[in-house]
Amino acid sequence: MRRKRRVRQREEKEQKKKLPTIPLRLNILFFVIFLCFSVLILRLGVLQIVHGDEYKAEAEKTNNVTIEKSMPRGEIYDSNYNLLVGNAGYNTITYTRSQNTDSEEILKVAQKLNTLIEVTPDDNLTERNLKDYWIVSHEDESISRLSDKEKNMDGSDQYQAQLKDVTDEDLASLTDNDKKVATLYKKMTNGYAMTEQTVKDEGVTNEEIARVSENLDELPGVDTTMNWDRYYPYEDTLRSILGSVTTEQEGLPADKADYYLSQGYSRNDRVGKSYLEEQYESVLQGKKAEYESVLDADNNVISTVQKKAGSNGKDLVLSIDVEFQKAVEEILQENIKKGKAYAGSDLFDRAFVVAMDPNNGQILALAGQKLNDDGEFEDYSLGTFTTAYNMGSAVKGATELMGMMSDTITTTSTFVDQPIYLKGTPKKSSWFNTDGYNDMTLDPVGALERSSNSYMYQLTMKFAGTTYVPYGPLDAPLSTFDEMRKYYNMFGLGVKTGIDLPGEQIGYQGPDDTIGKILDFAIGQYDSYTPIQLAQYGATIANGGKRIAPTLVKEIRNPSSGGDQLGSVYKESEPKVLNTLDATEDEIKTVQEGFYEVVNGANGTAKGYFDSDDYVAAGKTGTAQAFYDGPKESSNMAEVWNTTFVGYAPADNPEIEIAVVVPWLYRDGYSDSKINLSISKQVFDKYFELKKQHENDQQDSENPTINNKDLAAQEQQKAIQSKANGD
């Protein structure tokens, strides 16, 4: 019994020893749990209180992307600040999609936009466009038509399979409203992401602009803005020279895309694609405005705000007086009609005038007129530097100065004008001494006055290092052609003149295979030249020996700040001297005296054509036997005659120099209507007439205003209305 009690007491004692151990472990466990919860609570507090805003912003993260928008191009004015090319602004609705905007989102925007604006279904919607639209608007059905294998294809191959599954019945089920949405969808998916696309720019009413603007929150990527088109107050005058601008659909020309992209352009930017618009693209192109678009986490455009204002392009002020230009074009038309009335003129269809200031190279008029197949006149100013013709005796001033600069002749050297007989070559003579009954001794002045071919032949044979022996061979090296061209090039004949227009041609060089042809070369009946080259040659003689690059731009002005006043001068045109003749003052004056006698001398070939109280002219006539190579292919190589004139006035202090070229005036065997001289006289008369008129209405060159503002405003409104009407 006692033993049992001791055992029980021992057990109780041991139990008492164990009891404190269990609560201690529990306490430790509870303490650890408490610490863990404390850490979690502390961490949660840090996240919510310290970094709460940061993580909230991360959850609602957006991206800001800069978008550039083009500004209107600079405008173009004539020398009297008459607007020649302006901008007509009009309402435009645009769309900019992000990199990740999917087709479903674009479709939703197109469907919503279709309820707010009037949409005309695009006549150019292709079958592919309609299939694309059907797929995106029937996505579930389109996917259901795919086989299991097709559903596992990559995106591009799967889409091709979807396209094949669209049936003719599917396309036939599309309503007119579907085609309107399809039109919008096509425009919105064109081009590149983050590049503004025009959705509608014709016939956009103010009411449509208002409705779209009120719903921009439901139209992510859509914007309302102003766009512009070029308009021309003087319609066709100088139209070809002014050039043109690409549309947004054209964007950058393919052959120059890499260059423009390297300059910061976007692919759908509008750029000058021809002539002045192309040549002065960097000046006329405005500085882009920068807008910041806010994208959500899915890269959808939420909103767009302007970040940096852009500016219009700089303005060009041309050296051309549009009134003088228009008058010259009318003079050409009148005289072409006159020339067409003569027998043998069936191939005659064009004429050209280049007028320039010989002292600085500024073009005063650049005119070409051509009859089309319907007998209507077309502007062919481009032909002044893109087409070439034999110029005839007009180039004899270059031949004489070649002789003087090479020490072949002096200012007083004489030759007896006589027919030239060479072995194996038909007789060659001057027009006034075909049979040798009118032999006479001529110096350089007299040779120009009478337009002696014989003088030029003998000069050229001596230049080539050979002595003329009647009926003997012409023993000279073929390298004479190159030697002669070297001198002619000094005047701008046979080389680019440097005119500030793209596409200038240099003319045609005859083959250097027959040495006797150097005689034809000397009288302008071998190599062909452009009218602008003939003008530069004449200007080089008129100004005393400086070959100056022709330019159409008088000055560049900063964009106008508004109103009728032009902006400040950014840059003035400076004469660009390409080379100076290696001739003495006496040598140049000798040729100038010869030009004077051509017009004013007793035996001058232009005597009696330039009588005027306002000016005294000097110049050189030209008549060249040539071969027709115009549009009437059945008459190619027919023998025709070109007539020309190059001259300047006043003779003692030139301020205008002109080149007149009348190709294919009459067939061989018919009479010359002399319209080259008629044109020249009328051009000089008109220039000095307008000069008197403008003496009393000169503008302040520092702060000029648009001279034809009423006409410009009227034509601008017409252009805007035409766009609003969708014309």
Give me the active site residues, please.
Answer: 393
Q: Are 557 and 569 in contact (CB under 8 A)?
A: yes
Ranges of H-type helices in 101-154: 103-114, 127-137, 139-144, 148-151
CA of 145: how far to CAs of 166, 172, 419, in Å? 9, 18, 93
Whole-angstrom distance, CA of residue 101 vs CA of residue 237? 47
Residue in this structure with the two tokens 């960097």, named with its chain if needed: 282
Whole-angstrom distance, CA of residue 294 vs CA of residue 306? 11
Q: Which residues contact 97 (CB under 8 A, 6 or more apart)?
A: 106, 188, 189, 193, 194, 197, 221, 301
Q: Which residues contact 277 (CB under 8 A, 6 or more apart)?
A: 73, 242, 243, 244, 245, 284
The dihedral formed by the CA atoms of 196, 198, 199 and 202, expressed in degrees to the nearest 10: 160
Whole-angstrom distance, CA of residue 152 vs CA of residue 134? 21
Whole-angstrom distance, CA of residue 493 vs CA of residue 581? 13
Q: Are 680 and 643 in contact (CB under 8 A)?
A: no
H or E stretch including 367? strand 363-371
Cβ atoms within 10 Å, residue 281: 20
Whole-angstrom distance, CA of residue 360 vs CA of residue 586? 22
Q: Are 430 and 582 in contact (CB under 8 A)?
A: no
Token duo for residue 41: 């609570």
Cβ atoms within 10 Å, residue 691: 15
Best CA proximity match to 88, nearest among 231, 244, 238, 265: 231
- Provide the CA 637 distance to its chain's centre, in angstroms: 34
DSSP string, 315-335: EEEES--HHHHHHHHHHHHHH
Give the E-state strand segments of 70-110 in sequence order: 76-77, 83-95
Q: Are 619 and 645 in contact (CB under 8 A)?
A: yes
CA of 548: how far to CAs of 176, 337, 524, 575, 718, in Å? 63, 34, 22, 7, 41
Angle CA(697)–CA(703)–CA(704) in degrees, nearest 5? Answer: 40
Q: Is the peptide bond before 358 cis (omega within 30 degrees of 0)?
A: no
Token duo for residue 32: 């650890």
